[in-house]
Amino acid sequence: MSEFAVGDEDFLLDGRPVRLLSGALHYFRVHEAQWGHRLGMLRAMGLNCVETYVPWNLHEPEPGRFRDVAALGRFLDAAREAGLWAIVRPGPYICAEWENGGLPYWLTAEAGARARTRDERYMERVSNWFGQLLPEIVPRQIDCGGPVIMVQVENEYGSYGSDAEYLHRLTGLMRKLGVTVPLFTSDGPEDHMLTGGSVPGVLATVNFGSHARVAFATLRRHRPQGPLMCMEFWCGWFDHWGGEHAVREAGDAAEALREILECGASVNLYMAHGGTSFAGWAGANRGGGALHDGPLEPDVTSYDYDAPIDEYGRPTAKFMAFREVLAEYAEGPLPEIPSPPAALGATAGVELTAWAPLDAVLEALGGPETSGPVPPTFEELGVERGLVRYAVTVPGPRQPYPLTVRGLRDLAVVYVDGERAGVLGEDEDCLKEPVAGYARVELWVESLGRVNYGPRLGEPKGITGGLLHERQFLHDVRARGLRLEALDDVGRVREVASRELPEEGVPGLYRGTVVVRGAGDARLELPGWTRGFVWVNGFALGRYWSAGPQRSLYVPGPVLREGGNEVWVLELEGTARRGSDEADAPVLRAV
Ligand code: GLA
């Protein structure tokens, strides 16, 4: 048992100054069977600590229903076994390019702008959640013989709000629930962020990608004493659909790391290993400058982050460059670099065998159909990740007029009298061809991930502003939601997707098998497919989209087995297939 403390100049372990060489690795973005390997990679890079967030929405899908909260405890145990200290950042908000910044969709639906403030109802939700979560952390603190040395309060709160009372209460709640190790906050190195995001008497840290000296000088204006730490050293960056792939050169990143260490500071590499936002959990940003109030920029499935340990767990040039820098600060020789996990033995094509149209999928796996005067939001239908089919009638007879979807979030594939009429989005919200009455209109709306940063955090999904024919609202809207999770049910999916393959590559749920020789790490390519989700043996790989820049999905080796494996693809727009003979079969390749 040891004591970890914040000294006047350094972190202190049993009174001895220590420097934290930490790296971010999110347990929820790495297959559990691979935690050990990845943690070993962190050690071999020269790190002595691992940092993870905790996504509230993953663990409390409905108010009061908790799901595998113990995963965090298992991960902390794995960190200890790997010989690493651990920093935990339990939010409640985490950002992290994660759906809704980690806040449950049902919470932001009820709290609106009261989320992340001292609001009583919101605080009650936080307190119930922390009541479940903290028992995973508290007995694993270093003063109980565990790896946990520090716990963060909120996340970059100064980039969002200024409710000092909220931060004060959160701090009190954590202490009350048994956190004895040092607490800290992290913020951008700007005066207003540090003013809004820090808590008197609690260690303040800063986040940045370069110019350590300038950043720490700013921090010193607010905190003349205490250890310096960069809690997020952005050594890479994330991608969004339709954007450029972000790359940060290894030498440049290593120089920036050296500058931090030369300041005598501690560091947490964000990310050391990014992993994957499996199962459609990727969030979204809004562009448009400092306000982050512009166009939606949904994050890709891969969270490779151009990190030193890539999405597949392999060391990159950045890894080697960082290792060289970190070795100078290590207490002894660095462990050898663990060999990479086995890769798939041979390329293998998926043979598609059966199918079901989206209507049949919705019928079998969707929620109940609702009807009412205005389109309900995803929140009202209880859909966190997934899609909603809205159906409305244009009364007739009447002239052809434009059909407009107001407040559309995010994409709608629209059918008029059963014919595809277009794909609409937030900016392009009106059908090209006017619609005459009488007509039946169907809109299949997909959420591309809830906003995880900025003032539009928590904004609802679906048709949020109504359906207009000419200037007239259309009422009598029927709606039915399909939660992505419904497709995790292997048996039900087999039952539903059992029709003969269609002639054309229409949207629907496709099922197939792939024969694997030499199970191991792989990536799945979907040539000719447009947009949707894939499962392998019931494990949800996440979203694919021809918009790029991501071109294939990571399939962790432990998901595959020798011989036959089941694959299903939920395609929402349609494939380039012209007939079943020329099917563009998805392909598994070695990483
Ligand atoms: C901020 C957040 C992180 C992450 C990074 C960008 O620093 O605190 O959660 O979103 O930005 O990757």
The CATH number for 28's domain is 3.20.20.80
Percentage of the residues of the chain whose pLDDT score is greater than 90:
97
Task: Provide mean pLDDT across the span 546-556.
Answer: 98
Please report, for residues 111, 359, 463, the alpha-carbon distance to residue 443 in angstroms, rounded to integers and kept in the order given: 28, 12, 9
187 lines ligand 1 (CB under 6 A): no
Task: Provide mean pLDDT across the span 431-440.
Answer: 98
Is the pLDDT score of 70 beyond 80?
Answer: yes
- Do residue 367 and residue 308 come from a single domain? no
Per-residue pLDDT reduced to its tens digit, 370-415 = 999 999 999 999 999 999 999 999 999 999 999 999 999 999 999 9
- Do residue 365 and residue 459 come from a single domain? yes
Is the pLDDT score of 503 beyond 90?
Answer: no
- Do residue 463 and residue 514 come from a single domain? no
Percentage of the residues of the chain whose pLDDT score is greater than 70:
99
Question: Which atom of ligand 1 approaches the CA of 237 most closely?
Answer: 12
Nearest CA to ligand 1 atom 5: 96
Among all chains, which residue has been given the structure tokens 């149209």?
357
Q: Which amino acid is at 268?
A: N
Catalytic annotation on 573? no
Per-residue pLDDT reduced to its tens digit, 443-489 = 999 999 999 999 999 999 999 999 999 999 999 999 999 999 999 99
| Tokens describing residue 438 | 């009488």
- Do residue 452 and residue 516 come from a single domain? no
155 lines ligand 1 (CB under 6 A): yes
Catalytic annotation on 154? no
C-alpha–C-alpha distance, residues 308 and 272, integer Å: 6
Question: Which atom of ligand 1 approaches the CA of 452 most closely?
Answer: 10
138 lines ligand 1 (CB under 6 A): no
Per-residue pLDDT reduced to its tens digit, 231-255 = 999 999 999 999 999 999 999 999 9
Question: Which atom of ligand 1 approaches the CA of 156 most closely?
Answer: 8
96 lines ligand 1 (CB under 6 A): yes
The residue range of the domain holding 444 is 359-484
In a domain, 433, yes or no: yes
End residue of a domain, out of 455, 484, 513? 484
In a domain, 492, yes or no: no
In a domain, 335, yes or no: no
From 206, 270, 277, 304, mutation site for ligand 1 pocket: most ligand atoms within 8 A of C-beta: 270
In a domain, 343, yes or no: no
Query: What SS3 string covers 434-483?
Result: CEEEEEEEEEEEECCCCECCCCCCCCCCEEEEEEEECCEECCCEEEEEEE
Ligand 1: centre distance to CA 90 (Å): 14
Nearest CA to ligand 1 atom 10: 96
User: What pLDDT is stored for residue 583 in this prediction?
Assistant: 56
Ligand 1: centre distance to CA 161 (Å): 16
Per-residue pLDDT reduced to its tens digit, 298-325 = 999 999 999 999 999 999 999 999 999 9
In a domain, 337, yes or no: no
Q: Which amino acid is at 288?
A: G
- Do residue 271 and residue 418 come from a single domain? no
Ligand 1: centre distance to CA 369 (Å): 38
Q: Which of 274, 219, 263 is nearest to 51 (CA)?
A: 274
Task: Provide mean pLDDT across the span 417-429.
Answer: 97
Ligand 1: centre distance to CA 489 (Å): 33
- Do residue 44 and residue 75 come from a single domain? yes
Q: Please give the order of strands across the beta sheet that includes 348-349.
A: 348-349, 587-590, 522-525, 552-555
Q: Which of 21, 7, 80, 86 is nearest to 53 (CA)?
A: 86
Which three-class secondary structure state does DSSP give residue 276?
A: strand
- Do residue 374 and residue 400 come from a single domain? yes
Is 411:425 a contact under the CB 8 Å cutoff? yes
In a domain, 494, yes or no: no
In a domain, 366, yes or no: yes
Question: Which atom of ligand 1 approaches the CA of 232 most closely?
Answer: 7
Ligand 1: centre distance to CA 96 (Å): 5
Question: Which atom of ligand 1 approaches the CA of 238 most closely?
Answer: 12
Here the CATH number for the domain that contains residue 529 is 2.60.120.260
Catalytic residue among 99, 136, 156, 311: 156
User: What pLDDT is stored for residue 577 in this prediction?
Assistant: 65
User: What pLDDT is stored for residue 551 in this prediction?
Assistant: 97
- Do residue 398 and residue 540 come from a single domain? no
Ligand 1: centre distance to CA 218 (Å): 19
- Do residue 316 and residue 372 come from a single domain? no
In a domain, 136, yes or no: yes
User: What pLDDT is stored for residue 504 in this prediction?
Assistant: 87
User: What pLDDT is stored for residue 579 in this prediction?
Assistant: 52
Is the pLDDT score of 582 beyond 70?
Answer: no
- Do residue 59 and residue 171 come from a single domain? yes
311 lines ligand 1 (CB under 6 A): no
- Do residue 13 and residue 95 come from a single domain? yes
Nearest CA to ligand 1 atom 6: 96
- Do residue 26 and residue 158 come from a single domain? yes
Q: Which amino acid is at 143?
A: D
Per-residue pLDDT reduced to its tens digit, 328-387 = 999 899 999 999 999 999 999 999 999 999 999 999 999 999 999 999 999 999 999 999
34-54 residues labelled b (16+ CB within 10 A) or e (exposed): bbebbbbbbbbbbbbbbbbbb
End residue of a domain, out of 484, 517, 545? 484
Is the pLDDT score of 570 beyond 70?
Answer: yes
User: What average pLDDT does the chain have?
Assistant: 97
Number of domains in the chain: 3
Catalytic residue among 232, 384, 442, 446: 232
Residue 584: pLDDT band (50, 70, 90) is: confident
Question: Which atom of ligand 1 approaches the CA of 270 most closely?
Answer: 12
95 lines ligand 1 (CB under 6 A): yes
232 lines ligand 1 (CB under 6 A): yes
Is the pLDDT score of 556 beyond 60?
Answer: yes
